């Protein structure tokens, strides 16, 4: 297919039109009167900004698809609100079937208390219920679920117990695998969930997702990607990040070769060094300011994490280490630098790298360690100063300092934790409501998080919007150059091109 996007303005360039043939850009021009071959589809850019296709460098589209199918608890502001949405679902649930939901946030509840099983037991006597917190690191179970999973006898900090010694229904972190693996998964449901998410992602201008595959449902999720790929149903491209337990399965099934080219490529291995700040499970060097006895949880010893990074490296994969607290970030830097020295040829990266004091920031830069950052956290983490105190919170999400130190930081949503919309992400990075204002990015830097940095934090080198570059493009509905960042969040998407195909377009396309 030959495609001409004209009457637009390529971000930061003079180019006013781009000609695509097959999967590559074959020509660019600043001459509005140029002639193009017949049978070319012409897209009128209407003066909008065209840029390299937006990429989300860390999201969980299968979990988001699952959330869209189940109870969406985002936006509830009390246990009563949570109960209302659960009761509505319970009326239609078949006895014995799992009822699941996601998105509650006790930080928005009066008294900021975590809900417990007794808050929901009376309305769910016949069904096991699992309701995941917005960050995906904590789940609330009812008594029926605790019984059916046989969890009462488990030991460990991940299983919260009340004064009576019984489980409260709150289960955290690594123990979540016990819960999720017991839930029903299917290839068909995973596939339809993903396609549902794609529609939204394309509407937001995304062309590629770095897709985190879950530990609990990896067979079904990889199966869904394989079947959607072979039926040609995918509109976007996926760089897949596997849980370590899927490595053997992927090599046994030959998925490494099968997923060797767009639209689905195996990119890396996702490892978790710690939990989350919201749940006070991120590993800190000093205790939480609002919980003085607690420094969070490291999931692995230094040796264990190094071994896992080494294993990923040896298998030819990029390691993507989730590290939020400064103690976890330090551990991740140690593990990656031990394996890859100062050049980091495999582009190993730290997911989040949230609390980054100057000593760790310069170490990350020194060892060429990349980062995947989530600008929306800046506007959402209204409790950050409570958790960390003023002094430490100044080193939370230091985006500008990271870029200035030379760290390749790519933008992402961590969806469904935050909206998948990269326009809102770039807006959050450039307006930075709350937290240290000196860390604000220019709009150009903020868009760079989702274009050049995200591309190079995957498997490719960034080639921009020029001849010979892959034809992945996003067309905004207005000219954003020179726009005040505060206005940027209102910008819409007119067209999206993935591998030379026009996959989403509100523009006037004509042959
Ligand atoms: Zn994540």
From the CA of 176, how far away is ligand 1's center (Å)? 14
From the CA of 413, how far away is ligand 1's center (Å)? 8
Helices and strands per DSSP (H, E), number in the chain: 18, 25
From the CA of 351, how far away is ligand 1's center (Å)? 8
Mean pLDDT of 12-24: 94
Residues around ligand 1, an ion, CB closer than 5 A: 414
Q: Which two tokens stand for residue 191?
A: 């596939």
From the CA of 145, how far away is ligand 1's center (Å)? 25
From the CA of 415, how far away is ligand 1's center (Å)? 7
d(CA 154, CA 140): 16
From the CA of 379, how far away is ligand 1's center (Å)? 17
From the CA of 432, how far away is ligand 1's center (Å)? 21
Q: Which two tokens stand for residue 23?
A: 């999967």
| Upstream peptide bond of 416 is cis (omega within 30 degrees of 0) | yes
Q: How are strands ordered across the β-sheet holding 41-44?
A: 24-29, 17-21, 2-6, 41-44, 508-510
pLDDT at 185 (0 to 100): 77
pLDDT at 507 (0 to 100): 44
From the CA of 490, how far away is ligand 1's center (Å)? 26
Q: What is the pLDDT of residues 263-276, one digit of tens each?
A: 999 999 999 999 99
- 427 CB contacts (<8 Å, ≥6 apart)? 446, 485, 486, 488, 489
From the CA of 59, how far away is ligand 1's center (Å)? 6
From the CA of 123, how far away is ligand 1's center (Å)? 31
From the CA of 51, how far away is ligand 1's center (Å)? 26
Average confidence score pLDDT of the chain = 92
Helix (H, G, I), strand (E, B) or coil at 491: coil
Indicate the pairing of strand 17-21 with strand 24-29. Answer: antiparallel
From the CA of 205, how far away is ligand 1's center (Å)? 20
From the CA of 315, how far away is ligand 1's center (Å)? 22
Work out whether the CA dihedral 291, 295, 296, 297 comes out positive or negative: negative
**DSSP-assigned letter for residue 355:** B
Highest averaged pLDDT of the listed ranges 54-68, 174-188, 320-334, 369-383: 320-334
From the CA of 253, how far away is ligand 1's center (Å)? 26
Task: Tell whether the model's pLDDT for residue 7 goes beyond 50.
Answer: yes
Task: Tell whether the model's pLDDT for residue 450 goes beyond 80.
Answer: yes
Q: Which two tokens stand for residue 241?
A: 């990040």
The pTM (predicted TM-score) of the whole model is 0.87
CA distances from 12 to 24, 97, 108, 235, 481 (A): 20, 54, 41, 27, 8
From the CA of 58, how far away is ligand 1's center (Å)? 6
Task: Tell whether the model's pLDDT for residue 510 goes beyond 50.
Answer: no
List, in sequence order, every residue forming a beta bridge with 318; answer none if it has no partner. Answer: 268
Region of poorest pLDDT, from 169-173, 190-194, 325-329, 408-412 = 169-173
The DSSP result for 165-224, as a single string, is: SSEEEEEEGGGHHHHHHTS---HHHHHHHHHHHHHHHHHTTEEEEEEEPPSSSHHHHHHH
Label residue 87 by pLDDT band (50, 70, 90).
very high
From the CA of 138, how far away is ligand 1's center (Å)? 13
Give the rounded percent of residues in the chain with a pLDDT score beyond 90.
77
More confident residue, 432 or 84: 84
Mean pLDDT of 378-399: 92
pLDDT at 506 (0 to 100): 55
CA distances from 92 to 83, 97, 130, 131 (A): 15, 11, 16, 17
Indicate the pairing of strand 264-272 with strand 260-261. Answer: antiparallel
From the CA of 460, how far away is ligand 1's center (Å)? 21
Q: What is the pLDDT of residues 175-206, one digit of tens each?
A: 777 787 777 778 998 999 999 999 999 999 99
**260: exposed, middle or buried (C-beta count within 10 Å: 0-12, 13-18, 19+)?**
exposed
Give the rounded percent of residues in the chain with a pLDDT score beyond 70.
98
pLDDT at 511 (0 to 100): 37
Task: Tell whether the model's pLDDT for residue 97 goes beyond 90.
Answer: no
From the CA of 96, how far away is ligand 1's center (Å)? 30
Task: Tell whether the model's pLDDT for residue 123 goes beyond 80.
Answer: yes
pLDDT at 183 (0 to 100): 74
From the CA of 137, how far away is ligand 1's center (Å)? 10
pLDDT at 505 (0 to 100): 63
Task: Tell whether the model's pLDDT for residue 32 goes beyond 80.
Answer: no
Q: What is the pLDDT of residues 226-244, one digit of tens each?
A: 999 999 999 999 999 999 9
From the CA of 134, how far away is ligand 1's center (Å)? 11
pLDDT at 210 (0 to 100): 98
pLDDT at 509 (0 to 100): 44
d(CA 339, CA 461): 22
From the CA of 244, how far away is ligand 1's center (Å)? 15
More confident residue, 173 or 307: 307
């Amino acid at each position: 297919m030959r495609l001409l996007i004209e009457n637009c303005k390529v971000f930061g360039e003079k180019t006013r039109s781009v000609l695509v043939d097959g999967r590559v850009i074959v020509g660019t021009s600043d001459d509005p009167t140029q002639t193009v071959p017949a049978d070319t589809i012409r897209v009128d850019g209407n003066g909008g900004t065209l840029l390299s296709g937006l990429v989300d460098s860390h999201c969980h589209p299968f979990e988001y698809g699952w959330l869209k199918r189940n109870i969406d608890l985002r936006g509830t502001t009390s246990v009563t609100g949570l109960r209302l949405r659960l009761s509505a679902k319970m009326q239609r649930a078949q006895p014995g079937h799992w009822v699941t939901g996601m998105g509650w946030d006790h930080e928005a509840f009066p008294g900021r208390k975590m809900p417990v099983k007794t808050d929901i037991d009376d309305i769910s006597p016949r069904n096991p219920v699992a309701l995941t917190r917005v960050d995906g690191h904590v789940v609330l179970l009812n008594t029926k679920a605790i019984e059916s999973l046989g969890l009462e006898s488990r030991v460990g900090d991940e299983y919260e117990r009340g004064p009576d010694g019984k489980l409260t229904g709150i289960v955290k972190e690594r123990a979540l695998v016990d819960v999720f693996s017991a839930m029903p998964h299917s290839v068909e449901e995973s596939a339809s969930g993903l396609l549902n998410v794609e529609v939204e992602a394309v509407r937001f201008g995304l062309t590629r997702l770095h897709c985190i595959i879950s530990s609990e449902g990896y067979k079904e999720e990889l199966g869904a990607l394989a079947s959607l790929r072979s039926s040609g149903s995918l509109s976007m491209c996926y760089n897949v990040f596997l849980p370590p337990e899927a490595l053997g399965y992927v090599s046994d099934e030959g998925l490494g070769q099968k997923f060797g080219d767009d639209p689905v490529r195996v990119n890396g291995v996702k490892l978790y060094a710690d939990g989350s700040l919201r749940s006070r499970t991120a590993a800190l060097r000093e205790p939480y300011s609002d919980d003085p006895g607690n420094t969070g949880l490291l999931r692995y010893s230094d040796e264990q994490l190094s071994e896992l990074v080494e294993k990923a490296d040896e298998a030819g994969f990029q390691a993507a280490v989730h590290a939020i607290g400064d103690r976890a970030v330090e551990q991740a830097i140690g593990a990656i630098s031990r394996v890859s020295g100062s050049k980091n040829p495999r582009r190993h990266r730290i997911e989040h790298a949230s609390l980054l004091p100057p000593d760790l920031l310069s170490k990350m830069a020194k060892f060429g360690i990349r980062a995947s950052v989530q600008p929306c956290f800046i506007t959402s983490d209204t409790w950050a100063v409570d958790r960390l105190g003023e002094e430490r919170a100044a080193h939370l999400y230091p985006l500008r300092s990271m870029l200035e130190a030379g760290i390749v930081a790519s933008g992402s949503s961590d969806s469904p934790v935050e909206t998948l919309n990269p326009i809102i992400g770039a807006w959050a990075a450039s307006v930075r409501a709350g937290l240290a204002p000196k860390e604000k990015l220019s709009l150009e830097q903020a868009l760079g998080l989702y274009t050049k940095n995200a591309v190079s934090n995957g498997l490719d080198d960034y080639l921009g919007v020029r001849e010979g570059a892959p034809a992945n493009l996003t067309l905004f509905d207005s000219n954003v150059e020179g726009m005040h960042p505060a206005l940027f969040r209102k910008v819409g998407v007119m067209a999206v091109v993935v591998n030379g195909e026009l996959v989403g377009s509100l523009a006037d396309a004509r042959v």
